[in-house]
Amino acid sequence: MDKITFTQPDDWHLHVRNGAILKTVIAHSARQFGRAIIMPNLKPPVTNVNEALTYRQEILAALPAGSTFKPLMTLYLTDNTTATEVKKAAESEHVYAFKLYPAGATTNSDSGVSNLEHIFPTLEQMEKHQLPLLIHGEVTEERYDIFDREKIFLEQKLSRIVQRFPDLRIVVEHLTTEEAVKFVETASNRVAATITPQHLMFNRNAMLAGGLRPHHYCLPILKREHHRQALVKAATSGNPKFFLGTDSAPHPTHLKENACGCAGCYSAHAALELYAEVFERENALDKLEGFASFHGADFYRLPRNSKTVTLQKNTWRVPAYYGHDDFRITPLKAQETLNWKLVD
């Protein structure tokens, strides 16, 4: 097979930042995807509907002329999120979910939730108004090893949420472990998950073996090979609980290649091509459309896109960076060859 055409996909987990970074990266996502769930962890975070609508306008203004890309906004859940704000979000045609960051879990998460019990009243309101909860599923206490933080979150935190709020729709973002795959598979149909290209392609050797590779550093961190294999199996299985979410996270190169480099992989430049390589290796290209185009839309109760995209077998070399000399973003697979190319 040297060409595949399928329903235009959506990205159900995307960072586009704001300001100069937004203007540099948004065209990459808009070229491939019909819609994207936009992460709210700006500085300061997007915590209310008015801020989300202002941010949405900034995104729309940065889009290429003629683009039909639709940003789906989310709100940053805090210890102080009110029932009134949940109701306003439910009534807004542009806000689609709340995002839970445990305080200190990842980039710009310092304002996140400090104690789950603080937000139980908010989760009750979200359940009532049918607003999904998107979760960065890691514990953050220093006593826990970074490679175990997702597993412990599932055991100590997420299991409690699922049990206490059985009608709350939950997306476990960017799965990284075999345990997380099993958790989602055995939970009710109200629990689903996104999987990133980096966690499908790489295990932790890609970040640590032969030298530190900061552009493979993300949170949750890359795990052992058997975890990667479990993610690949889930993504290519056709199970509607698993769908595409790149977690593409643009950071200036100088902040990645730093004594304390920031977490995040930039994949929006070639997201579909990266996923296609994984699915092709598994002889599962026939499952790519469901994973990329159907499962997420169905879970969010949105219509599937009507347009199509085409990927063609055509080798090309990923640029060393995007942006310009004073402002560079190093993409995933920089200066490496990919075998699939999105047809314009």
Q: Which amino acid appears at position 118 of this protein?
A: H
Handedness of CA 169, 174, 176, 178 (dihedral sign): positive
Residue 153 burial by Cβ neighbours in a 10 Å radius (0-12, 13-18, 19+) = buried
The answer on whether 295 is annotated among ligand-binding residues is no
Return the CA Rg of the chain. Answer: 19
The answer on whether 99 is annotated among ligand-binding residues is yes
The answer on whether 23 is annotated among ligand-binding residues is no
The answer on whether 263 is annotated among ligand-binding residues is yes
Structure tokens at 23: 């203007």
Q: H or E segment at 204?
A: none
Residues pairing with 73 in the sheet: 38, 95
The answer on whether 16 is annotated among ligand-binding residues is yes
The DSSP-derived string for 104-167 is: TSSTT-TTSBS-GGGGHHHHHHHHHHT--EEE------TTS-GGGHHHHHIIIIIHHHHHH-TT
Please name which of 248, 240, 193, 251 lies closest in space to residue 32, comparing C-alpha atoms.
248
The answer on whether 15 is annotated among ligand-binding residues is yes
Q: Given 2, 10, 145, 247, which residue is catalytic?
A: 247
Please indicate whether residue 247 is annotated as part of the active site: yes
The answer on whether 118 is annotated among ligand-binding residues is no
Q: Which residues are catalytic?
A: 247
What residues form the annotated binding site? 13, 15-17, 41, 99, 136, 174, 219, 247, 251, 263
What residues form the annotated binding site for substrate? 15-17, 41, 136, 219, 251, 263
What residues form the annotated binding site for Zn(2+)? 13, 15, 99, 136, 174, 247
